[in-house]
Structure 1
Amino acid sequence: MAKSKSEETPLMQQHKAIKDRYPDAVLLFRVGDFYETFNEDAVIASKVLGIVLTKRANGSASYVDLAGFPHHSLDTYLHKLVKAGHRVAVCDQLEDPKTVKGIVKRGVTEMVTPGVAVNDKILENSSNNFLAAVHFGKNKTGIAFLDISTGEFFVAEGTLEYVDKLLQSFKPAEVLYARPQQKHFKECFGTRFYTYTLDEWIFTSNYAQETLLKQFETHSLKGFGVEQLQDALIAAGATLHYLRDTEHPHLQHITGIQRIDEKDALWMDRFTARNLELVSSGMEQGNGLLDVLNNTVSPMGARLLRRWLALPLQDIAKINQRLDVTEYFIKETELSKALHHHLKQTGDLERLVSKIPLRKINPREVMSLARALQQVEGVKELLAKSNNSHLQFLSQRMDPCPDILARILKEVVETPPVLVSKGNVIQEGVHEELDNLRKIAHSGKEYLLRIQQTESDATGIPSLKVAFNNVFGYYLEVTNAHKNKVPDTWIRKQTLANAERYITPELKEYEEKIIGAEEKILSLETLIFDQLLAALQPYIKPIQDDAKLLAEIDCLLCFANNAVQYKYRRPNITQDYSLEIKEGRHPVIERGLPPGESYVANDILLDKEQQQIIILTGPNMSGKSALLRQTAIITLMAHMGSFVPAASANIGLTDKIFTRVGASDNLSGGESTFMVEMNETASIINNISDRSLVILDEIGRGTSTYDGISIAWSIVEYLHDMTEHRPKTLFATHYHELNELENKHSRIRNFHITNKEAGNKVIFLRKLAPGGSRHSFGIHVARMAGMPPALINRANEVLAQLEEKHIEAPLQQNVKNIAASPSKVQLSIFDAHSDTFKQIREMLDTVDINRLTPVEALLKLNDIKSLL
């Protein structure tokens, strides 16, 4: 039987009323010195936080689940709940319990979700914590990214594939979308993100326009260059609505909005970012390209470098600008050292200044802000003296905000406490009344010591002492051995086993003065500090701009440091369509080599006229995949404006990098290895251009040998002949039969990774050489992997029998037939499947080849395969 409201305790009635307003959040309910959770929230908290789950009475004959923790542990436990993917509502006492009769008024003061976290323990210094919103428009999809902890706000719109790529690059902590679009969102983007749905009316143009104009206090959005991105602006409006809906009304640090234009950045889909291991290496964190390149010294620089990696430049002038500054820093070592010294002391200026409007900044952080502004002043002076035009431009844009800096240094003590309530925050000479009160408090305590000495001399009690407790304030304590010397004017307050405690009128008078002064001191210090924070408000935007400029300098210094330390060279970015790398190296693999072992560098040449496609063969574990990836990574690094791991590099401007590496099932999506492989390859084929770089590794291995060779063969021919574009292509394969393509097509060249056989062992030389390879040395690799000797011996026996019977002869003959008659590129798949011949024939008869797109062809091939 349900318990009536009247039977619940007043406290639980209050809890229920607040919980009803936040049903999908864990409610942390402040009760005295503890945050308590009740019912289903208590069960969640006990599991996630590892705290004890108990029960407490709730009216007559009723109990509720209960789990709590001390209020001073909020930051620690809040961090754990949000990291576990829970929305958390923090409900505080809005009144002083000492001044209230009955139930204390309570209310939610903060709502924390994965995408709106500002707590330092929740955030990672080196990455943004983006809240994203997606709006599905009629022709385009809009997306917005907002980091409340830094004030950064980005918008973009385009195809679903482009939005998917941005989601993969920015990796938002939380994604918003309209509730009716739940099914569509999951179909498009899967379940990779923490999501939250909002009412559909929030995703409307008029509401978004009104919300954004109110936030930026402008009459239009033309000044931000985003007024035409209607679908993106709707998404942006939804993010601001969500911030206010989650109890974040103070957003003065969100001062602008920035457009991400698809044409400005080199395109990489999410498969490419994953295959190139840009952020992490598979399941192993801390072993991706970003980790190797990131030698920034400030959190702002680390976050910007991550964004540069996700969105490499397409503008040669901007690329060369970064390269010029990097080269300048390499030459000007003293300047680089001085800038490096300043940047290390700036801390996270971007997040510090964003705490001001959020009312999260403490006195110690205000002093950190001041020290950071002092470093801005030093950086500005250094850049102004440089001979680089871009660095001089950055210097002109910097504003150390001298007025507010001087005020902070004048008003706040050099080493303030974290909390204002601890006192001793404001310097002497700032406020006359504060100084007088401090003298009273200080001299009052000295006077108490004089009272102690005077009374001791007058009474002859040598052990007399003045002390204090919270029950009756200051008192005189006399041991039992001297209590007969106590004057009659003293008032006894407490008897102990070995002593008596007394008060005097004079003692109480000074106590009132001291305690009154201390309370007024704390009140005044709080007031002065709040006034200082109010004075900081107009400086939020210039300090944010300073932080962005420092981040840029940090990244460019990082590039210079990497170039010197790891022997990277400046790439030459051209308008040509060629790619020429001399002695290229894989930056991640190179850094992971054992001491004393050097990386085997390789040359790569791809162009539009002579060597458009390289068919790369070689043994397993010989380094084919490393060569493919390093070619793409060097191209990517060059477009970031970074020096590259090569002796030299001439890189034609590249618009897109596509990679298809490895095979993996998408079991949750019901797709096989082969289907995933075909989807990704189809995406590449449908989006290539003359300026694209295509990296394909082991295409076709997700299906049978005949099917695999057929697909691989047709893909290479398609990239060579059947499209108007000539993308630069590296195609690694185990199908040695593809070497026949070189003889038939003018822009295809065979290369292999060299090896040397010594007895029954194979030594990988990891050097690229012209010509195809005929062996994969799979059994040698199995031996190196630690397979049992008996298994290896049996494998060799079977291999010998197969080679003796020439099992591959029919397949080789089919390949020769393909080369002789390219217009009939089809292996015989019917000989071994005569029972299904008729069904497949009927299926093929219904296909109009002239209207069949590459994607449909691959999918049709998959249907045929399923019949075999």
Structure 2
Amino acid sequence: MENTDMGPPLTPLEQQFRDLKSRHTEKVLAIQVGYKYKFFGQDAVVAAQLLNIMLIPGNIALDERTHERYAYCLIPDVRLHIHLQRLLNHGLKVGVVKQTETAAERGADGPGKSAVFLRHISAVYTKATYMGDEDVGGGRADKTPGLGPQAARYIVCIDELQHPAQTGVVAVQPATGDIVYDAFRDSQLRDQLETRLAYLNPSEVLVVGLHAAVSKDTGVALKLHCPDASVHGFACRPDGAVQTGLEAFFGGLGAPGSHAHVSEFYLLHFAACVQSCVLQLAEHLAEFRLSNVFTITSNVAPFAAAGRYMVLPAATLRALDVFEVHDDAAARRGSLVWLLDRTYTRPGGRMLRHWIGRPLVDKAQIEKRLQAVACLACGKFVHVLDAFKAAVAKLGRGGVDLDRLLIKVHYLATYKNGRVSRKDVYLMLKCFGDLLQLFRNFGDAGVDELGLAFADSELLTEIMQSLLRASGQKTVDRILAQINAHAALNDRDPVEQKTGFFVHQHNKKYAAISEELARIADIEAALDTELQALRRSMNRPRLAYVTNMKETHLIEVRNGKMADALPPDWLRISATKTVARFRTPEVSRLHKQLQYHNERLLKENDNCFNQFLQEIDAEYVYFRQIVHDVARFDCLLSLSTLAQDEGHTPYVRPQLTTEQTVDIRLGCHPILLRLPQNSGAYVPNDVQMAPDKNKVLIITGPNMGGKSSLVKQIALFVIMTQVGCFLPCAQATMGIFDSIYIRMGASDNILRGKSTFMVEMLECASIVQNYTPNSLIILDEIGRGTGTSDGIALAYSILKYIIEDKNGPLTLFITHYPSLHVLEQEHETVANHHMAFVEKHSLDGAENDWPEVVFLYKLVAGVVSNLYGLNVAKLAGIEKGVIDLAHQMSQAMKADVERGEALGKLGSLRADNAFDVLFNLF
């Protein structure tokens, strides 16, 4: 592009920037200039502000000519990725523009080259596609919040073209290569989509619809559940375009035809809405050179395999603080993940989170996990288990994330995008080698003893045998034998690390490296011969080449007669007051050749490194299975560590039954028990529920008496049991549940334009429509979002419907309406309970005196008519006079408001019309 605008002419570098920026207006460009990275124009303004660095004033807009030069700021190349992460955390897309030729290469190729070094965009990053520790010539990743190893997040594509009949979702985690898909029917509330967003926690969302604009309901769901995610809308493709698009995309990926089978995999096995998401994501990731993630079809998994996992909707995840504490979404402390995660490795931590979010529903599979945990916690074969445990712990302490490194190798094998360093590749392979060597070191006797240690556990035996098979192969040894370990670890000298990485002698794969090294040796020998000749001609037997400011092969002479007597064709390179430094024509010629072949050596090493990574990538499934086995063992170790907790309350193995039963003796809330402020002390409770007795528990009691904590404890016990955990109680017999539905808390949903009561009714309708006989339902204070009479009517009718449904599940119903106790008299499967307390009256015995309450936090039979809200008001610091007046009014208003006008409307409530009946109440 020529500069035809008025004003000072652009420098070649500025013209190059302008050309690049005009083609990539949506990116902030970091342009390599020597040992710096420069930002120009508006990019410089943004970078200077966010990075808090100096901005050199100048032109801001591309076409502006009010100054001689563009505004700019710069950063050292060794700090590139430290600054890059900060830019990405502000939602920017950053392109790294690298210099692709050197002065040595230009000099060797002749004078016909351009006046400016060639540059191109070598990498593009967003928050979702950045994986940390990149090797593109710019330092190591720091601990910037939201990025880094533990912050791996998904990029999600939603196809809502057929909503509500069918919505498709595909999620990719670029940092690990995991791909999740689903196709489902959703409601007006978008609760199914919200559940998936709660699990996936995306940082970037693509939405495919009839038009490029995102629909209102989906947009609201995204703002509620992933407010910091960037959202992009796309219009749907014409009929047949998805199939041809998939075939064309994967047919052209990598070597011609090498991935043609991938399009067949997606076209044959997935719904049209999922195929649409795959194509949209593949095209999106192509810019970041990550789309070959879809070629690893073994990493593709359904979000919720039918009949395999418990259903935990988004409302349940929030109410139970499964992944994070709901009041503080950034906090893990106090969540179920925080309680259970004592893993050593990052893949283990990710797998345990997956286990917790998807509890098993198959009794045999749950028993396998529980038996493995029991086996690890029993204290037998300590030295054998300790050896295995130490190997996993060492892997964790080393900070090597094997999943991440494997997928980086996969990306680089196709795109050659420099996402992984030589040191990291060596450390990854060394970790695999050390782990497999452990099994070889056991020998036959050790393997037999290991077999005995795990004999009682089918799952541990399966893991051990898989790792034993892997250790019997020589894949890792064969690959490691090609690496010079000393050079690979030498990241203080990048050139030596690169050129010395391979053991290239007698290896035909690295013949090109050997050839370049031979040429370099010949040139260095010629330079040495030239030096000998110079010693003789100058009569200086100790003459040696000197190096100054990275200029090598210099001949230094003193200024004066000696310098003046030198031949005129000697090239003067530099000088001081006392000495001058020269190169002879022959030394200059040889020096240029040496520089050129040194550059060629680096390029040949890069080429060979890419081939080497392809060799590793060809064994991806083998390596990933090892990581999977280690992660499973790590998860089981974590659960066994919890099982051996020697606190005030021991952990016991739950007994499983096929009946829908909850029988807990002296159970404690597992999370509250561990919080430091409770010092390991917690009032235990007994809970018995079964289909024929206590199928529905109506729980009343004073405010702050522990009702919500108790029902959450029961739900957590159900989840922990089906994850494979031991429980903090004296004894537990648990049934197998396929879902947990919770309606708890009150909140106005301003974004949706729905009141507290509207949200409450919609969530109740969703529960009524979706529960099964094997569900667990928890309803907390239903009806409190409206008037007292209608609230009681609603609570009564909804609970009565569940009770009388022959497929009704176990239900815990917390209420502040004591009049609902009559349901116990009407149905033998219903039981009234309350949280025990003691009243303390004042000594003067005044008539209008209201008692203070001491909470006992014990679940006991019976109903409580007084909710003692005034006691909570006192604890909150409200003045006594105000509370006394409230007490008088409370006594005067205890008229019966058992049934209101809403009761008649609820007579027709059924599972198939629950949504409409509850929606139309108001």
Quickly name the TM-score band, shorter chain normalised: 0.7 to 0.9
2:173 maps to which residue?
A: 147
How big is each residue's C-alpha offset from its partner over 1:317-372, in whole Å with a ceiling of 9 and x where there is no partner?
A: 22222222222222244343222221233331111111113232211111111222
Query: Residue 197 of structure 1: which of 225, 230, 233 is its match?
Result: 233
C-alpha change, 1:114 and 1:376, in structure 2 (3 Å) is same
Aligned partner of residue 695 in structure 1, secondary structure:
strand
C-alpha change, 1:667 and 1:447, in structure 2 (3 Å) is farther
What are structure 2's unaligned runs of at least 5 residues?
107-112, 134-140, 413-418, 507-513, 843-851
Matched, 1:469 2:529: no
**Higher alpha-carbon deviation: 655-664 or 408-417:** 408-417
How big is each residue's C-alpha offset from its partner over 1:796-838, in whole Å with a ceiling of 9 and x where there is no partner?
A: 32134225xx32331xx343xxxxxxxxxx3269xxxxxxxxx
C-alpha change, 1:97 and 1:775, in structure 2 (3 Å) is farther
Pairwise mapping of residues 514-593 of structure 1 onto structure 2 (< 5 A)?
522=602, 525-565=605-645, 567-593=650-676
C-alpha change, 1:572 and 1:675, in structure 2 (3 Å) is same
Query: Residue 707 of structure 2: which of 624, 627, 631 is its match?
Result: 624
Aligned residue identity for 2:76 = P
Q: Whole-Å Cα distance in 1 between the matches of residues 709 and 377 of structure 2?
A: 29
How big is each residue's C-alpha offset from its partner over 1:560-606, in whole Å with a ceiling of 9 and x where there is no partner?
A: 11111263322223221222222222222111043745121212122
Pairwise mapping of residues 15-30 of structure 1 onto structure 2 (< 5 A)?
15-30=17-32
Aligned residue identity for 2:478 = A
Q: Whole-Å Cα distance in 1 between the matches of residues 836 and 908 of structure 2?
A: 44
How big is each residue's C-alpha offset from its partner over 1:400-446, in whole Å with a ceiling of 9 and x where there is no partner?
A: 56234333244222452348843145368633748878989999999
Matched, 1:413 2:485: yes
1:740 maps to which residue?
A: 822
Aligned partner of residue 146 in structure 1, secondary structure:
strand
**Higher alpha-carbon deviation: 320-329 or 465-474:** 465-474
Cα offset for 1:734? Answer: 2.4
Aligned partner of residue 565 in structure 1, secondary structure:
coil
Normalization by structure 1: what TM-score? 0.84
1:701 maps to which residue?
A: 784
Aligned partner of residue 143 in structure 1, secondary structure:
strand
Q: Whole-Å Cα distance in 2 between the matches of residues 846 and 779 of structure 1?
A: 32
1:665 maps to which residue?
A: 748
Query: Residue 132 of structure 2: which of 84, 106, 119 is its match?
Result: 119
Q: Whole-Å Cα distance in 1 between the matches of residues 718 and 906 of structure 2?
A: 44
How big is each residue's C-alpha offset from its partner over 1:766-822, in whole Å with a ceiling of 9 and x where there is no partner?
A: 11111122333333334434x2xxx4311332134225xx32331xx343xxxxxxx
2:110 maps to which residue?
A: none
1:618–1:752 contact (8 Å) kept in structure 2: yes
Cα offset for 1:614? Answer: 0.9
C-alpha change, 1:618 and 1:53, in structure 2 (3 Å) is farther
C-alpha change, 1:798 and 1:392, in structure 2 (3 Å) is same
2:846 maps to which residue?
A: none
Aligned residue identity for 2:92 = H
C-alpha change, 1:633 and 1:847, in structure 2 (3 Å) is closer
Matched, 1:312 2:403: no
Q: Whole-Å Cα distance in 2 between the matches of residues 59 and 228 of structure 1?
A: 51
Query: Residue 764 of structure 1: which of 855, 858, 863 is its match?
Result: 855
% identical aligned pairs: 23
Matched, 1:71 2:77: yes
2:894 maps to which residue?
A: 809
Q: Whole-Å Cα distance in 1 between the matches of residues 312 and 573 of structure 2?
A: 79
Aligned residue identity for 1:765 = L
How big is each residue's C-alpha offset from its partner over 1:126-156, in whole Å with a ceiling of 9 and x where there is no partner?
A: 4542222122354322211222222222222
1:323–1:641 contact (8 Å) kept in structure 2: yes
Q: Whole-Å Cα distance in 2 between the matches of residues 45 and 496 of structure 1?
A: 40
Q: Whole-Å Cα distance in 1 between the matches of residues 313 and 803 of structure 2?
A: 22
Pairwise mapping of residues 345-494 of structure 1 onto structure 2 (< 5 A)?
345-346=394-395, 347-359=400-412, 360-378=419-437, 385=451, 386-387=454-455, 388-398=457-467, 399-400=470-471, 402-414=474-486, 416-418=489-491, 421-425=494-498, 426=500, 430-431=504-505, 433=514, 467-470=546-549, 473-475=552-554
Root-mean-square deviation (CA, aligned residues, Å) is 4.1
Aligned residue identity for 2:685 = N
Aligned residue identity for 1:771 = G
1:127–1:302 contact (8 Å) kept in structure 2: no
Aligned residue identity for 1:625 = S
1:232 maps to which residue?
A: 274
C-alpha change, 1:375 and 1:582, in structure 2 (3 Å) is farther
2:838–2:854 contact (8 Å) kept in structure 1: yes
1:475–1:507 contact (8 Å) kept in structure 2: no
Aligned residue identity for 1:201 = R
1:210 maps to which residue?
A: 247
Query: Residue 313 of structure 2: which of 269, 275, 291 is its match?
Result: 269
Query: Residue 885 of structure 2: which of 793, 798, 810 is its match?
Result: 798
Normalization by structure 2: what TM-score? 0.79
Cα offset for 1:738? Answer: 2.5
How big is each residue's C-alpha offset from its partner over 1:470-522, in whole Å with a ceiling of 9 and x where there is no partner?
A: 47534576899xx899996798876535x324558699599789868865764
**Higher alpha-carbon deviation: 373-382 or 537-546:** 373-382
C-alpha change, 1:507 and 1:395, in structure 2 (3 Å) is farther
Cα offset for 1:655? Answer: 1.2
2:370–2:653 contact (8 Å) kept in structure 1: yes
1:110 maps to which residue?
A: 123
Aligned residue identity for 2:217 = E
2:213–2:233 contact (8 Å) kept in structure 1: no
2:212–2:234 contact (8 Å) kept in structure 1: no
Q: Whole-Å Cα distance in 1 between the matches of residues 423 and 859 of structure 2?
A: 58
1:613–1:748 contact (8 Å) kept in structure 2: yes
Q: Whole-Å Cα distance in 1 between the matches of residues 424 and 835 of structure 2?
A: 56
2:66 maps to which residue?
A: 61
C-alpha change, 1:391 and 1:88, in structure 2 (3 Å) is same
2:416 maps to which residue?
A: none
C-alpha change, 1:519 and 1:364, in structure 2 (3 Å) is same
C-alpha change, 1:502 and 1:158, in structure 2 (3 Å) is closer
1:345–1:372 contact (8 Å) kept in structure 2: no
1:258 maps to which residue?
A: 301
- Give the paired residue count: 821
Cα offset for 1:692? Answer: 0.8
**Higher alpha-carbon deviation: 596-605 or 266-275:** 596-605
C-alpha change, 1:71 and 1:179, in structure 2 (3 Å) is farther
What are structure 1's unaligned runs of at least 5 residues?
816-825, 830-840, 864-868
2:94 maps to which residue?
A: 88
Cα offset for 1:749? Answer: 1.1
C-alpha change, 1:44 and 1:669, in structure 2 (3 Å) is farther
